[in-house]
A = this chain, B = another copy of it.
Amino acid sequence: MTKNKNEMAETLVRQQIDAFVRAFCMKDLMLMMSLYAPDFVSFDIVPPLRDVGRDTYRAVWENTFTLFNDPIKIELRDVTISTDADVAFSHKLLRLHATRTNGHEVNYWERLTFCFRRVDGTWLIAHEHVSVPADLASGKAVLDLKP
């Protein structure tokens, strides 16, 4: 690809990432679902091992939105984007800071990978992988790491 085309693709992918953050913070299910490809596959931070299909994941987001009070604060760091004509990927660290409806404060950094396919001119998330590291010796999820 030419440098200009690459820069344009990178700008469009970045807009989708910004839209993801906005949809999460605003609990905007319609905006969130507009970002995903129909055959989307998720490796989510919580079980199961994977979710297959945009419709399956709609229910996951619907449920997630019920877990948090407003405001939901999100910070991104170390955002990297690699684009081609029709395939792209991006990885970054995401800090989620919010209060759950059960009163518990949530404040941790997670790792977030998006893989995109361009479908009819729109960059859709075909695959998402979100996680925190695990301490395999103790069996604990490690939620107190800072970048």
Tell which of B45, B47, B86, B129 touches A145, judged by Cβ atoms closer than 8 Å.
B47
Tell which of B41, B91, B133, B136 touches A115, judged by Cβ atoms closer than 8 Å.
B91
Tell which of B1, B48, B88, B139 touches A143, judged by Cβ atoms closer than 8 Å.
B139
> Complex: how many Å from CA A80 to CA B42?
12
Task: Check if A147 is an interface residue, CB within 8 A of chain B.
Answer: yes
Task: Check if A131 is an interface residue, CB within 8 A of chain B.
Answer: yes
Task: Check if A36 is an interface residue, CB within 8 A of chain B.
Answer: no
Q: Which of A86, A133, A146 has the most CB of B within 10 A?
A: A133
Contact, CB under 8 Å: B117 / A115: no
Task: Check if A82 is an interface residue, CB within 8 A of chain B.
Answer: yes
